[in-house]
Amino acid sequence: MSLVLSQQYAETFPNLVSQHRVKPLDSARIRLFNQSLATEFGLADRTVNALREWCLGNVAQVGHAQKYVGHQFGVFNPDLGDGRGVLLGELSNKAGELSDLHLKGAGPTAYSRGGDGRAVLRSSLREYFASETLHHWNIATTRALALVSSHQGIQRERIEPGAMLARVAKTHVRFGHFEYCYSERLVSEQKQLWQHVMQRCWPALVDAEPVEQFRAVVKATAEMIADWQAFGFIHGVMNTDNMSICGETFDFGPYTVFDTFIPQQIFNHTDQRGRYSFLRQPSVGLWNLQRLSQALSLIFPVDALAPVLNDYEDFLQQYYLKRMRKRLGLAPGDDADAFKLVGEWMGLMQRFEWDFQGSFIMLQNILRGEQAMPNDTLFKAWYDNYMGYNERQPELSTMAQSNPHVSLRNHHLVEVITQAEQGNWAPAESYLAALTGEPLSAEELGHWQQPPMEGEQVNSLSCSS
Catalytic residues: 241
Which of 44, 52, 61 minimizes the C-alpha distance to 5? 61
83 annotated among ligand-binding-site residues: yes
138 annotated among ligand-binding-site residues: no
242 annotated among ligand-binding-site residues: yes
Burial code (b: 16+ CB inside 10 Å, e: under 16) for 61-73 equals eebbbbbbbbbee
Label each residue of the chain as H, E or C: CCCCCECHHHHHCHHHEEEEECCCCCCCEEEEECHHHHHHCCCCHHHHHHHHHHHHCCCCCEEEEEEEEEEECCEEEEEEECCCEEEEEEEECCCCCEEEEEEECCCCCCCCCCCCCCEEHHHHHHHHHHHHHHHHCCCCECEEEEEEEEEEEEECCCEEEEEEEEEEECCCCEHHHHHHHHHHCCHHHHHHHHHHHHHHHCHHHCCCCHHHHHHHHHHHHHHHHHHHHHHCEECCCCCHHHCECCCCECCCCCCEECCECCCCCCCECCCCCCCCCHHHHHHHHHHHHHHHHHHHCCCCCHHHHHHHHCCHHHHHHHHHHHHHHHHHCCCCCCHHHHHHHHHHHHHHHHHCCCEHHHHHHHHHHHHCCCCCCCCCHHHHHHHHHHHHHHCCCCCHHHHHHHCCCCCCCHHHHHHHHHHHHCCCCHHHHHHHHHHCCCCCCHHHHHHHHCCCCCCCCCCCECCCC
What CA–CA distance (Å, rounded) separates 417 from 44?
A: 31
In terms of phi and psi (left: phi > 0; alpha: psi -120 to 50; beta: otherwise), the region of 455 is: left
What CA–CA distance (Å, rounded) separates 196 from 9?
A: 8
Total Cβ atoms within 10 A of residue 180: 26
334 annotated among ligand-binding-site residues: no
Which of 111, 124, 223, 241 minimizes the C-alpha distance to 175? 241
What CA–CA distance (Å, rounded) separates 200 from 379?
A: 47
335 annotated among ligand-binding-site residues: no
167 annotated among ligand-binding-site residues: yes
81 annotated among ligand-binding-site residues: yes
117 annotated among ligand-binding-site residues: yes
347 annotated among ligand-binding-site residues: no
Known binding residues:
81, 83-84, 104, 116-117, 167, 174, 242, 251
Known binding residues for ATP:
81, 83-84, 104, 116-117, 167, 174, 251
